[in-house]
Structure 1
Amino acid sequence: MKYKLSRHARLEMERRGISLDLLEQLLQNPQQIVAETRGKKAYQSIIDFGSGKRFLVRAIVADENDPPVVITVYRTSKIHKYWRMP
């Protein structure tokens, strides 16, 4: 997926220790794509960062732009809050 990375997303990835490789994997093969407010989408996957604890990594993307813009990226332990059951 071709995309543009916002300045905010770049800064937050660095601050949160999320690599560009991980973001690219998430955007290419998300476990879920969830509709968010104002037409945005959350690309998300559950990831084990090696500590044995699983986190949900979410990339909030404005798909209506060409190319799509990654607005922010974060990880959370609150999987149940964001995960959608089919």
Structure 2
Amino acid sequence: MRYRLSQHARQELERRGISLTQLESVLNHPQQVVPDRKGRTVYQSQFDPGDGKMVLLRVIVVRNAGDVLVVTAYRTTRISKYWRES
């Protein structure tokens, strides 16, 4: 998927230690895509960062006429709060 990073997203990726590889993995192969407030879309996937504890990587985007702008991204261990069961 082609995307652009907002300045805020760039800063947060660096601050939170999220690599572009991880970001692109979620954008290209999300386990879930869920609507969010203000017309945003959340791409999210669970993964084990290597310490045996599952985390959820959430990537919040705004789609506008084929353009995808990454607003922010973050990891959370509160998977049950955000995960949508089918």
Normalising by structure 2, report the TM-score: 0.96
Whole-angstrom CA distance in 1 between matches of 2:10 and 2:4:
10
Which residue does the alignment assign to 2:69?
69
Runs of 4+ in 1 over 3 A off after TM superposition: none
* Kept after mapping to 2: 8 A contact 1:32/1:43: yes
Which residue does the alignment assign to 1:45?
45
After superposition, the C-alpha distances for 1:33-53 in whole angstroms (9 at most, x for unaligned) are 010011100000001100111
Give unmatched runs, 5+ long, in structure 1: none
Percent identity for Structure 1 against Structure 2: 51
After superposing the two structures, state which structure 1 stretch, 63-72 or 42-51, moved more.
63-72
Q: Does 1:11 align with 2:11?
A: yes
Count of residue correspondences: 86
Normalising by structure 1, report the TM-score: 0.96
Counterpart of 1:2, as a letter, is R
Q: Per the alignment, do residues 2 and 14 of structure 1 end up closer, same or farther by CA in structure 2, a change over 3 Å counting?
A: same
Counterpart of 2:19, as a letter, is S
